[in-house]
């Protein structure tokens, strides 16, 4: 799961949006560093990452990638799942539009940014201003996201090429998303994540 899915599932679970979004920017034991609700959000994000990576549908999706991009397939798929969530937002969260959800998440997170990691603050400055989540529904945007990630992390240069795997396997990836994501939503609502 990438940013949008983590926030969406956190909202369904009534978990800290800040903690769920910030989890990839903090390391180790965070118990003494953040309020209890934020720590619980970080923990939910971490559990969800492990759970998602081990889902049979996600393992099946990884096999669709070419040998030269399979190493970065888990990262690519995190972004791909956000694409399908944004594209089908009205089916997955009909009670609130994606722009309204994004605005509410921004309103909840931004006032809490003081004291968070600098790289996380920088991410927020760009993410909300450029309305990332609303553009995730565009396949071309996903290719740009992957290319940007590859540029920032040269050892993950294969991310740039993995966009082609996304495009080539689009018809197989979309039903895989629909096979597992509604289960995650139900688990979030039932506080099982």
| Per-residue pLDDT band at 138 (split at 50, 70, 90) | very high
Q: Could you please report the per-residue DSSP string of 64-84?
A: TS-TTTGGGHHHHHHHHHHHH
47 has a pLDDT exceeding 90: yes
Helical pair 158-168 and 170-189, crossing angle rounded to 10 deg: 100
Q: Are 110 and 126 in contact, with CB atoms under 8 Å apart?
A: no
Answer yes or no: is pLDDT of 28 > 90. no
Chain segment 67-98, per-residue pLDDT in tens:
999 999 999 999 999 999 999 999 999 999 99
pTM for this model (two decimals): 0.95
Q: What is the pLDDT of residues 96-124, one digit of tens each?
A: 999 999 999 999 999 999 999 999 999 99
Where are the chain's structural domains? 3-189
């Amino acid at each position: 799961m990438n940013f949008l899915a983590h926030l969406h599932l956190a909202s369904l679970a009534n978990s800290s949006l800040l903690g769920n979004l910030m989890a990839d920017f903090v390391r180790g034991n965070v118990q003494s560093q953040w309020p209890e609700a934020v720590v619980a959000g970080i923990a939910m994000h971490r559990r969800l990452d492990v759970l998602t990576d081990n889902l049979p549908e996600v393992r099946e999706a990884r096999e669709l990638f070419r040998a030269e991009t399979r190493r970065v397939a888990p990262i690519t798929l995190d972004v791909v799942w956000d694409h399908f969530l944004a594209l089908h937002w009205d089916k997955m969260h009909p009670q609130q539009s994606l722009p309204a959800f994004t605005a509410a998440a921004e309103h909840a997170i931004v006032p809490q940014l003081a004291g968070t990691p600098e790289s996380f603050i920088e991410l927020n400055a760009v993410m909300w201003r450029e309305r990332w989540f609303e553009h995730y529904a565009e396949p071309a945007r996903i290719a740009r996201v992957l290319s940007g990630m590859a540029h920032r992390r040269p050892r993950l240069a294969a991310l740039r090429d993995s966009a082609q795997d996304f495009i080539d396997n689009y018809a197989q990836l979309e039903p895989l998303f629909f096979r597992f994501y509604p289960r995650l939503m139900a688990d979030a609502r039932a506080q099982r994540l």
